Amino acid sequence: MSQEHDAVELDVTGLNCPMPVIQTSQAFADLGVGETLEVHATDPGSVSDIAGWADSTTEATLHEQTEEDAADGTVYVHRIERVA
Amino acid sequence: MSLDEQPAASTAPTDPESLQATVAELEQRLSTLEEAAEDPGEMVIISTKGSLDMAYPPLILASTAAAFGYDVTVFHTFWGLDILHEERSKQLQMSAVGNVSMPIPNVLAALPGMDRLTTWYMNRQMRTHDVATVEELIDVSLASGVDLQACQMTIELFGYDPDDFYEGVTTGVGAASAFQRMQSADIQLLI
């Protein structure tokens, strides 16, 4: 099974600081070990904020951050795995 | 390098008794470190201002620190109480007087009605930029375990009632309980 299929999606588009990181941490708390959370955000600050949060959270590993073009601007996609 | 490949010249003790003692000591140190690593950090913010712009920094930092697993206390005193006051928190105002970052000269900003205009402008900007409201930040802070405290002395000083505050706000606390938490906290801020 590819990683793409196990990811739990979290949509925080349209939310600004500090909401993306807060909702990410809340959704992450419900993940099982080995599961991945895919966060979709429109806040450009979420790139640095979610990276910083994942760096400080021993249970979380940030695998990738990508940008996708959407109708109303850029969507930042963050993939975070629960490793413990 | 695996453990078996330790150089022969190592100064580590080789007799079983010293080895056992060394292992016991290392295990003790490891468990102390593990306990310290599991212990969440602690942050205390003293929130003293009740203007719209000054309500945001303590709430944003508090909810963010909670997302980082921190144990967070925000002690609201003097005008900071208004942030937790259910009615007053929805009507927080701000003034351009003395604020050199705003494009309105003091002589105009001091005219009657200008505070209301400045507040309206700020609220409109926040809505345009998808910034959460004070009420939303209070809800998310309480839901993530932040201890929002209202100073008892200033509740009485301003003639507020403990029931005026959002449900979940801690009342009946004073400077000593704030200070006690600050003593053990990793981060202490006055806003």
pLDDT at A9 over 60: yes
Quote the minimal CA–CA distance from A16 to chain B in Å.
5
Starting at the edge strand that comes first in sequence, how are the strands of the sheet with A8-12 ordered? A8-12, A36-41, A73-82, A60-70
In degrees rounded to 5, what are phi and psi of residue B174? -130, -170
Judge whether A53 lies within some domain. yes
What is the complex's ipTM, to 2 decimals?
0.79
What are B44-62's pLDDT values in tens digits? 999 999 999 999 999 999 9
In this structure, what CATH number is given to the domain that contains residue A57? 3.30.110.40
Judge whether A13 lies within some domain. yes
Domain holding A17, by residue range, is 7-82
DSSP state of B76: E
Q: Which helix (H) or strand (E) holds B54?
A: helix B52-67
- Token couple for A17: 């600081």
Looking at residue B34, what is its pLDDT? 82
Q: How far is CA B160 from CA A14, B78, B150, B151, B152, in A?
A: 36, 11, 11, 11, 10
Q: Compare CB distances from A22 to B37, B129, B140 and report the shortest one's residue.
A: B140
Looking at residue A1, what is its pLDDT? 42
Is A57 in Cβ contact with B69 (below 8 Å)? yes
What are B96-123's pLDDT values in tens digits? 898 888 888 899 999 999 999 999 999 9
Quote the minimal CA–CA distance from B6 to chain A in Å.
31
| Residue A69 annotated to the active site | no
Q: Which candidate, B189, B90, B132, B71, places its Cα nearest to that of A18?
A: B132
Choosing from A3, A17, A52, A83, the catalytic residue is A17
Q: For chain A, how many residues are written? A: 84
Q: Which residue of B has its CA nearest to A19?
A: B132
| CA pseudo-torsion sign A52, A53, A57, A63 | negative
- In whole angstroms, give the CA distance from residue A3 to residue A61: 14
Judge whether A24 lies within some domain. yes
Q: Which residues sit opposite B187 in a β-bridge? A: B43
Judged by a CB distance cut-off of 8 A, whether residue B69 touches chain A is: yes
Q: Which residue of A has its CA nearest to B132?
A: A16
- State how beta strands B187-190 and B42-47 pair: parallel
How many domains would you assign to chain A? 1
pTM for the whole structure: 0.79
Judge whether A44 lies within some domain. yes
Q: Compare CB distances from B67 to A14, A21, A58 and report the shortest one's residue.
A: A21
Judge whether A60 lies within some domain. yes
What are A36-83's pLDDT values in tens digits? 999 999 998 899 999 999 998 999 999 999 999 988 889 999 999 999
Judge whether A50 lies within some domain. yes
Judge whether A62 lies within some domain. yes
Q: Compare CB distances from A53 to B67, B130, B131 and report the shortest one's residue.
A: B67
Judged by a CB distance cut-off of 8 A, whether residue B54 touches chain A is: no
Judge whether A1 lies within some domain. no
Average pLDDT, integer, range B119-139: 92
Is B132 in Cβ contact with A19 (below 8 Å)? yes
